[in-house]
């Protein structure tokens, strides 16, 4: 009768040892920094097909590439984390500085490997002074080293205080962010327009790619494309907060993004994103996330596919102007094609009109785009 009791006691002892060992291992994991905190995301968020929207863990080394588009009102600020390295692209207006630094600290950032100022406008560099003061910055990239812009001058002084050089990267330069690769695509030349002077970056991680264009407009976009730069991407950061002067059809045709993120403030005075931009994105079959509607947007890549999480539960969308049908109308005589909304279309005689289902179809038939509506 004693044999079964000894067996049960032995099993109980082994089970107890297993539990104790598990608790010790869990404690060590937490102490070593592998514990996980939740991202502020709405678990009821509605995602587009093929996109997940859940509250998941803070990115840690080995978790892949995480790209966070912070909701900073009418400005830009994007945090990239990969294999323990950190890149921050822009830092919004100065009144968003506390929000930005707090978010970074809450999400495990203790130092910034690359701080990028796409261009010298306050809605992109206003919070950088505070970022430089709050974190050790190893490299500061900018499209310029000096500017008359007051916000950028504060960045210059903060960099000098931190003994941090401002470096203007060259087109074609590459650098590593963990196991991701960052490539400088623009600006292709010096522009008098500050927006066009924006740094343009592509971030590759496995088979996934992200494109960041700052506030670059058609001129700079066209120069990048004419230079033959590789702009293919899964996720496009729409230029200039969704302005109609950026994110042209040609860029969308070459980049072929599945998703776009627009950073803009709710009910902003500029009307961003503009209806024309949303129409182009819709025409290119791009799913759109917007910080004014979705709040902070987190995109994670495992090197093969991307998944989105949003702070607010609004469905991502790309909506054209109400009542507007997007299409292309060509002039058989001039061999030019236009957006259906272009004012030049009404001057084309009906007998000289030809319609196209897509931009690619017009180009394939030898038609060139109108310089006014830039289809």
pLDDT at 343: 72
Backbone phi, then psi, for 98, in 5-degree steps?
Answer: -65, -40
> Which residue is listed with tokens 């179809």?
361
Written as six digits, the tokens of 58 are: 């803070």
Q: pLDDT tens-digit profile of 287-337?
A: 999 999 999 999 999 999 999 999 987 667 644 433 444 578 899 889 998
**Do 114 and 135 meet the contact criterion of CB atoms below 8 Å apart?**
no
Whether residue 9 has pLDDT greater than 90 = no
CB atoms closer than 10 angstroms to residue 334? 13
Second-level CATH architecture of 65-310 = 4-Layer Sandwich (3.60)
Local confidence band at 146 (pLDDT 50, 70, 90 cut-offs): very high
What SS3 class is residue 181?
strand
Indicate the range of 87-96, 315-324, 347-356 predicted with least confidence.
315-324
| pLDDT number for residue 358 | 77
Helices marked H in 186-259? 218-226, 249-255
Euclidean distance between the first and the last CA atom of the chain, given in angstroms as a whole number: 89
Locate CATH 3.60.15.10 in the chain: 65-310
């Amino acid at each position: 009768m004693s044999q079964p009791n000894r067996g049960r006691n032995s099993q109980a002892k082994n089970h107890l040892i297993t539990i104790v060992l598990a608790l010790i291992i869990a404690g060590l994991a937490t102490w070593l920094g592998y514990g996980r905190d939740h991202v502020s995301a709405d678990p009821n968020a509605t995602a587009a097909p093929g996109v997940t929207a859940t509250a998941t863990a803070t990115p840690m080394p080995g978790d892949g590439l995480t790209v966070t588009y912070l909701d900073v009102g009418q400005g830009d600020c994007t945090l990239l984390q990969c294999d323990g390295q950190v890149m921050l692209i822009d830092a919004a207006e100065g009144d968003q500085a506390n929000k930005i630094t707090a978010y970074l600290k809450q999400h495990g950032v203790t130092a910034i490997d690359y701080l990028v100022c796409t261009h010298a406008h306050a809605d992109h560099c206003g919070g950088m002074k505070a970022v430089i003061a709050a974190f050790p910055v190893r490299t500061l990239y900018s499209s310029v080293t000096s500017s008359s812009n007051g916000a950028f001058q504060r960045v210059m002084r903060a960099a000098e205080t931190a003994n941090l050089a401002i470096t203007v990267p060259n087109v074609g330069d590459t650098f590593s962010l963990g196991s991701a690769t960052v490539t400088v695509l623009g600006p292709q030349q010096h522009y008098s327009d500050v927006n066009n002077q924006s740094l343009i970056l592509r971030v590759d991680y496995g088979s996934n790619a992200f494109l960041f264009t700052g506030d670059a407009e058609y001129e700079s976009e066209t120069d990048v494309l004419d230079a033959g730069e590789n702009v293919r991407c899964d996720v496009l950061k729409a230029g200039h907060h969704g302005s109609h002067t950026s994110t042209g059809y040609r860029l969308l045709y070459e980049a072929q993004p599945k998703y776009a993120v627009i950073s803009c403030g709710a009910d902003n005075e500029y009307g961003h994103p503009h209806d024309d931009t949303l129409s182009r994105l819709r025409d290119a079959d791009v799913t759109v996330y917007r910080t004014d509607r979705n709040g902070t947007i987190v995109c994670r890549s495992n090197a093969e596919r991307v998944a989105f999480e949003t702070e607010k539960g609004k469905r991502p969308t790309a909506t054209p102007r109400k009542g507007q049908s997007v299409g292309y109308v060509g002039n058989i005589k001039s061999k030019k094609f236009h957006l259906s909304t272009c004012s030049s279309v009404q001057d084309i005689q009906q007998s000289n009109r030809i319609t196209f289902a897509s931009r690619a179809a017009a180009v394939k038939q030898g038609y060139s785009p109108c310089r006014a509506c830039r289809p």
